[in-house]
């Protein structure tokens, strides 16, 4: 079976228009969403339809992608913040900076992402669950794993277990 795809472009981004599934966005709490990095015009439209006011990108590399994302979001009237979270957040306080942004009600509705929406964003959402919503460490960690958190990223996992209750 052959499927024809129509392609749309925006800011140099190609996207399969009709046949592509929507970006996997999950509601964390009222006004807070999480998922992967937006890749194409359809993804930016989806964020706009949700009423997202701010996108929090916690990737620590890929400068050109960040610049492109910032320009695309601006065209939809969505603010872009990059708070790079390293894979060793104990050393640089990066996870705490990202969590402060996520907690800021003035920036909501907010969408947090890293590259795939699993590891760095999973850590920040896990910290939010424990510190702001009173979740147990175990419940928050189970949710992190359900969203694909990679426990082999020892720096992120260690930070969660050692620092979530601060």
Tokens standing for 113?
A: 């992402």
Peptide bond preceding 56 in cis form (omega within 30 of 0): no
pLDDT in tens, 83-127: 999 888 777 888 999 999 999 999 999 999 999 999 999 999 999
Tell me the three state secondary structure of residue 4: coil
Q: For the residues 19-28, what does the mean pLDDT come to? A: 85
Question: Among residues of the chain, what percentage have pLDDT more than 70?
Answer: 88
DSSP readout, 30-99? TTEEEESPP-SHHHHHHHHHTT--EEEE--SS-HHHHHHHHHHHHHTT-EEEE-PPPS-HHHH-HHHHHH
Question: Is the distance from CB of 55 to CB of 113 less than 8 angstroms?
Answer: yes
Domains, the chain, with CATH or none: 23-163 (3.90.190.10)
pLDDT(15) > 60: no
pTM here is 0.86
What mean pLDDT value characterizes the chain?
Answer: 88
pLDDT(3) > 60: no
pLDDT(156) > 80: yes
Q: Which residues contact 144 (CB under 8 A, 6 or more apart)?
A: 122, 123, 125, 126, 160
């Amino acid at each position: 079976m052959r499927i024809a795809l129509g392609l749309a472009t925006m800011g140099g981004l190609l996207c399969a228009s009709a046949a592509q599934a929507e970006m996997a966005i999950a509601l964390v709490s009222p006004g807070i969403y999480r998922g992967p990095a937006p890749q194409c015009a359809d993804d930016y439209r989806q964020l706009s339809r949700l009423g997202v006011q701010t996108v929090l990108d916690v990737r620590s590399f890929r400068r050109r992608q960040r610049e492109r994302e910032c320009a695309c979001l601006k065209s939809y009237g969505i603010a872009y913040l990059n708070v790079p979270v390293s894979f060793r957040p104990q050393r640089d306080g990066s996870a705490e900076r990202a969590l402060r942004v996520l907690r800021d009600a003035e920036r909501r509705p907010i969408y947090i992402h890293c590259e795939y929406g699993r590891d760095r964003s999973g850590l920040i959402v896990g910290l939010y669950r424990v510190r702001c919503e009173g979740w147990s460490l175990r419940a928050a960690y189970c949710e992190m794993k359900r969203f694909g958190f990679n426990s082999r990223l020892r720096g992120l996992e260690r930070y969660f277990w050692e620092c979530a209750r601060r």
